[in-house]
Amino acid sequence: MIVNGWFQRIMNLLNLDFNMRESGYYPPGAEFDQNAPYNQVENPEEEFNVTIVETLSKDVTIFTTNYNLEVDCDEDGCYRQCDTSDTPWKEEYKKQGCTAIETIIAAKTYLEEVRLQQLKDINRCRPLTESEEKELRVVKDLIEQCSDWKQEEIEFCPE
């Protein structure tokens, strides 16, 4: 095959043999088709910085005395109505539970201060077993996964 200079340079850049011959294992003319699935080359892995925005929700029961009680009576009896339009739900919830970000921080703190420390103490006394080594890797990965989360907003939707 006669190859002119520009084509040879391209083939050299692509590390392709410009003395190609059909092997007979592909459909005619398809062996060197770069668009054919068997000739596709995977892209090299690259690192990208991205922002992950997740929306989480959880149904909870909150007990509070911070509401306006309205009583309406008619010929059928009296009815109670609780007006919670002025209830500070975030403060009421914090008295009884913790937000997702607080849960993540608590889990990370436990993993760092308790479980990771326990595994390090074991390793000072003796080599870790295979399952302990695996757990150590999992704990370190979980600590990493719990890092750097920020709470962008929090909203309470009473029913």
pLDDT in tens, 91-129: 898 898 888 999 999 999 999 999 999 999 999 999 999
How many other CB atoms are found less than 10 A from the CB of residue 111?
Answer: 19
- Confidence label for 37 from pLDDT (cuts 50, 70 and 90): confident
What lies within 8 Å, CB to CB, of 91 at 6+ separation is none
Whether residue 77 is predicted with pLDDT greater than 60 in this model: the reply is yes
Q: CA-CA distance, 110 to 114, in Å (whole number)?
A: 5
Asked whether the beta carbons of 35 and 29 are under 8 A apart, the reply is: no
Residue 18: what pLDDT?
A: 47
Q: How confident is the model at residue 14 (pLDDT cuts 50, 70, 90)?
A: low
**Cα four-point dihedral sign 64, 68, 71, 72:** negative
Distance CA 88, CA 96 (A): 13
pLDDT of 22 reads: 54
Residue type, 58: K
